[in-house]
Structure 1
Amino acid sequence: MTQQHYFNPQQEDILKELINVSFGLSASLIGDMLDNHAKLHIPEISSIDILNLDDKIIELLDKTHEFYLTKQRFLGSFNGEVLFVFNAHSAEAFSSLLLQQARVDESDMKASILELTNIITSACIGKFCEIIHGETIFKVPSIEKRDVNRMQEYDKIEGYDNVIVIKTALDIEKENILGHMFILLNNQMLEHLKHTIDTL
C-alpha cells in the first residue's frame, strides 16, 4: 500500500511532539483511573488516503480477525472524526485491569474501551484545537465489534479525504495493550492544521 506524505519531516516532528504531549496527559488520567502507572508510547505516525483505511486496519491487525472499532466525531472550527481499533486481546486485557476481574463480558469490554478512547481523543483533539485556536464539540462515541473477513459489509465512512494513523502501545503492569488511532480529516482541515504547524 502506498503511504502518502502529507507532512514534511519538520511538520511531522511537531505533530509527533503535540501527540506526545497529549498522550502524556492521557496516560496520567488513565493511570489515575486504574490506580496504576500507565505509559502511552507512539511507535509510528503515518498518513494515508481515506480510500486505503480498510486495508490499513487489516495490515495493522496482523492476522487478527475480530476487532473493536470506536468512532467519535468532533465538530466546530476544527472538525473530523477519530477512530480507534483494538484487537480482542488488547480490549480484554484493558477491561480486566480497569474492572479488576479476570473475566469480563462483551458489554463491560465495550464500555471500558469507550472510556479509554474518550480520554485519548479529548486530550489529542483538544491539543490540536489549542494550537489552531479553534473550538470543537465532541459527539457521543460509538463502538462495535467487527471482523476483517466482512469488511465489505460495513458502512463506508464518508466526508473525509485523509487519515493520520497513530500506532500506540499502552504499558500497564507489563500488559502491552496495542491500539491504533485514526484521525480523519478533509483536505481543508488538513491544510489548516499544516499551516498552523508551520507557524509554530
Structure 2
Amino acid sequence: MNTIVYMLRHGDSPIDGNERTRVLSEKGIDDSKKVTSILKNEDIDVVISSPYTRAILTVQPLAKVIGQEVKIYEGLKERIFSNGETRLADEELIPLLEKSFSDPKFALKSAESNYDCQERAIRVLKEVLKTYHGKKVAVGTHGTVMTLIMGYFNEKYDLAFLYNTTKPDIYRMQFRGVGLIGVDRVWN
C-alpha cells in the first residue's frame, strides 16, 4: 500500500517581520482557500505543518474542512539562514541560496546548512511515512525545505526547481515504504 504526501509550500506572506510568526498576505489567504478547494476531495487523512505561522495558515482551512487538527512538526520549519529572527532581504538571501546549493555544507555562523536542514526534514518525512503508512498526508512547509526533501530522492529538485516554484505550490509525492515512486505537480 502506497503513502501519498502532498507537499505544500506556504502561501504568500509579507517579507517583514519575525520568521516564525509572519502571517499570510491577503493573496496568501485567498490562495489557502484555493489549496483547500484543490485538496478537499483527495481523501486526506492527516494534515501536518511546520511550526511557522504562514505554513500553518496555508493548511489550516484544509484541516478544518476535513475535520482534522493541524499536527505541528518542528523539523519542517524553514531553513535557518542566519542567527536573526527576521527574514533576510532577497539581496542577501539569493547569494546564500546559490552558495548553499553548490556547497550543501555551507552555512553562516549560528545558521544551518542545506545538509543539516535536509537531514532534519528527512527524519520527519521518514517518521511520517512510518506513522501514516498507506495514508494521504498534507504537509505544510517552506520552499527550501520542500526542495531539499524532494532533492533527497532526485537531484533534479535543485535550486532551479526552487526558483520555479510558486507560493503556494503543491506536489503529490507517492511512496512505497520510504522509496519515492512518483511526483506530480498539483497546483496550477
On whether the aligned pair clears a TM of 0.5, the verdict is: no
Query: Which has the larger Rg?
Result: 1
More strand as a share of residues:
1
Higher helix share: 1
Report the TM-score when normalising by structure 2.
0.28
Give the alignment's TM-score, normalised by structure 1: 0.27
